[in-house]
Structure 1
Amino acid sequence: MEPPSYDEACLHPPALRGVSMGVTPPPTYPVTLSSPATPPPTYGEAVTMPTDPYPVLAPPMMPVTTPPQRDPNIVHQSTHISASDSRTVGQTVVAVPSQTIHSLALGEHPTVTQCPYCHHNITTQVQHIAGRAAWCTCFIFCLMGEFYNEQPEVNMRIRLLAAVGRAAVGLAAVGLAAALCAACLCVCAGATRADDKPPIPGKDIKPPIPEKDGVLQLKKSNFNRALRKHKALLVHFYAPLSGDAQRVSDAFQGAAAELRGSEVMFGVVDATQEKELLKELNATTPVTLFLNGDKKTPVHCPIPKNAASILTWLKRRAGSAADLINDIGQWDDSEEMLVVGFFKDTHQDYIQMFHSAAVDLPDTPFSLSHDDDLIKKYDIAHDVILLLRKSKLVQSYKVKGQTSKEDLLKFISVYHMDLVTEYDGQTASQILMSPVMSHAVLFANKSSDDFKSVYTAFHTAARDLRMKILFVLVDVDETRNGRLLEYFRVREADAPVIRLVNLTDQVTYHLPSDSLDADAVKTFCRKYLDGKAEPKLSSEPLPEDWDQRPVKQLVGTNMEKVAFNPNKTVFVLFYLPYSKESRGLFPLWEELASAYQDREEVVIARIDASANDIDLMMQDRYPSLRLFPALYSERVVLYTGKRNVKDMMKFVEKEMKKAKKDRVKEEEDRRKYIEAMKEEEEKMKNNTKDEL
């Protein structure tokens, strides 16, 4: 069938106008559905969208075609008109439109996408909203900060936690809670407790550490603060009454003035007042250097003589062996002993050992030399250390492979001292700090007639035993040496006498000889070095038969118990077994004991004064005769009469009669004392009853 012509088609109305085809019309928009605020774009707008100046950050979107959810079939009825007949034929044409949906890929950053409503290209905005976790974390840290804010001993960094926590609560609403909580964690992790109270404005501001002449006055309360503040802190732990305290304090003040403004700071600690601090630091040397706030590994400094000693020690410690290369001619007229090292360039280990020894001896000048003229002058080879005084050779030392720094220090220290060193305030620390631990000490009166001969013998023995034993002289006539005499239990009347002491175990040995000649001193010292000398003990062992003979044998342990018995009159001979004069009194003492053998109230005894420590004020020489009367008071009477039995018996009888009279008075005083004590007890009992 041919299609109708234009004229024929115009004669009939459209099929959709007023003609019911039995097909559901397309749906309409509900009345309640609001129209979009922005009208859809025109075609021109759609094809000529302006280029976005920002790149599209979102991934490309894939169109997805889905079938319609409702039945949106649009039915069109077509009417076919022919020339022969007028029939209307209904034909259903179904048009199924496709709908494109864009899948939006949104993230934590702004992006460009297409609005599903208006189909415009838009740029998204990202807004962070605090959740429960952020709020709870802020609240917890705020509480922690408020708690530590009330603790005065907490560091300022942890105190800052309070302010950060409060700020986090206030700023959480705008999305900054997570960042501030992380800041709280960093502050809390970096916070440490301080040993001092933190500065609170207007209340607990810490005062500066007190200084005196540029030297910090340190205590336990401010020591750690000073340690953190100063990179290098040199501390002197002093005892106010010690001999070295004032000298070292003066040296500190002088060195502090020279190094003012440097990274080295000086401080002092009173060891008698800050015992807890000394225990905490485990301070074992008077002068100690602390570096970079480290309390566990301090550097021990030799006791300085003056400010120059400190400056030299710091310079040598920070320097190298090359600093010791200098012209030794400047010491030609000096009384000081110069230590010169001659080493081959290949022996770097020897050179480093030499430098280490120089650091430990800051008061001694050191020099490294390669001068061939000096080698010829002193007729030496390489790897030798020379001790020179006024260009004269004192001693040489050959360095070998097994030589240690300690061996070198011992050699220099011993020869730096005199062959026999007199003990005084200047040499005390030098003697006690000597690497030689065995000391032979001569106690003598320098004003006595026999001093010269005794000193000569002692000096001769010292020459042969140098480097093995240190020989020391103590003047018993010097009152400032009283403590030393007390330590060795030597009386002024005992001089001259020699004691040999080992500073390692503090064991003392006594020279058992009356004559102090060179041979006797050498024999005694060699016997000690061979381990055959008998040590001097505080008391001999008590013999089992000490009271079975007429003459009772006393020792240190029973001396006071027997001698001060209030019911016995005791006459004691204090003797030295190696003394001829003492041994000459033994027969006389036996005869005297036989005379009083039948009288129980009289005891004749003797004691070896060289082998037992005797706590009596005895200023006379041995042998000594002393009588202890039968009294409660500890009276001691020295016998100075003729040494025969008759005169000694008269002395004993006279003292017994006198003691008998004194005993009556003592008994009366004791009776009165006992009665007074009883009355006092009765009064106390009566007062107690009245109170009850």
Structure 2
Amino acid sequence: MKHFLVVLFAVFASTSKASDVLEFDDSNFGTEITKYDLILVEFFAPWCGHCKKLAPEYEIAATALKREDPPISLAKVDCTANSDACSKFGVSGYPTLKIFRGGEFNQDYNGGRSADGIISTLKKMNGPASRVLDDAEKLKKFLANADPVIIGYFEEGNDGIKEFENIASALREDYKFGHTSLADALTEAGTNVVKLHRPKRLKSIFEDQVLTFEGKLNLNNLRNFLKDNIFGLCGHAVSTNFEKFKRPLAVALDANVDYVKNPKGSNYWRNRVMKVGKDFADQMNFAVANPADLGQFLPDSGLPENDQSAKPQKPAVVIYGSDDRKYIMADLFSLDGFKEFLEKFVKGEISAHIKSAPIPEANDEPVTVVVGKTFDEIVMDESKDVLIEFYAPWCGHCKSLEPKWNELGEKMKDNEDVVIAKMDATANETPKEYAVSGYPTIYWAPKDSKKNPRKYQGGREVADLVKFLKDNASSKIKTEL
């Protein structure tokens, strides 16, 4: 009996560890890859930290996507043991993800690397670019989609079908397309027309659920139509679509937003956002979101908190400006408060919430200290050329650079229109043009190009930095090497 239980446990353990991610190697890659109409392949190294972080997300996505119709497969190749396959497809870093169709390389994968991001991206790429909705049940099922869908209603043999399929192929990563020639559908929708169907879960009295595309059917025209209309007056924002919303964007953050478990409750505050927002539709865009779904896009602090005993809990509101700065409504949502907040924002009377260390009391050293609240004043000053280092206090490379950076500041102190600056990027927020992906990161922000800074890629010795300034500064540099 004991032996039986041990064996049973071993079988169970083995089964529980089974992976839905396929494993290819040099010996079988060429034959296995041909078996799949659509497959995502991860080229990885076992020691790679980013690969280890991706692994559980990749597993979750693989399990979910095998249930799709048709199923979507995920595979991986260990490049430390299979150099032929990895070199054939130009793998130079890890993890590298590539999409294959019908056994041939199709394109590099550029979607999100969370499970949700992988699932969302591949579902849109699954099957034909435009689904053929050739019976009433398929059409009904397609219209029941949780996402917006674009349907072409064409007579059989119409030239528009080919053009529509070509457009769908170009835009399939962003939208879901289908087309039909069913007589009943054409009678109801019209003949040789394209319509955007917003999901039923977002149905509202404040806007039409179905919009008809007007104009000549081509890629640019339809793309622009969808960009303008896909989310409607108030969309449902999640991490995978958030950056596609137009700015300025006012987002009501409500922990009860869940269109699977709580669709009615999710629309409770959304309808109130729309009631006010409809009067600002030509100046603003709107969305509702569960804070848990937005992660990195949330303000680091400053959101008003609910009284946990209050029912219902009220949303907090954040406006993401065209400059991508965040503007936080001081109080929780109310119709009057929301309207007043929008009015003040439109008039430019609201200050952005900026993550910032305290402003230094004294800042007269050769290297100027920049914090979030002084970034515009110092770095964006059009009268100065600025060379700024973004560092992390714990970064070894930053510590090595520090004495050289201080020496550079000392050499440049007599140049009044050149600023040598530094910023702790872990404690302060920067505009999107100054994105920091590693430490230290150095940007050159000359007088005439503050919105288009150049990332410094040269040597980090003092002589290298001085030469760069001599070659690029707006005014002649006064210093000696």
Q: State the structure with more CA Rg.
A: 1
Q: TM-score, normalised by structure 1?
A: 0.33
Q: Could you say which structure has the greater relative contact order, defined with CA pairs below 8 angstroms and 6 or more residues apart? A: 2
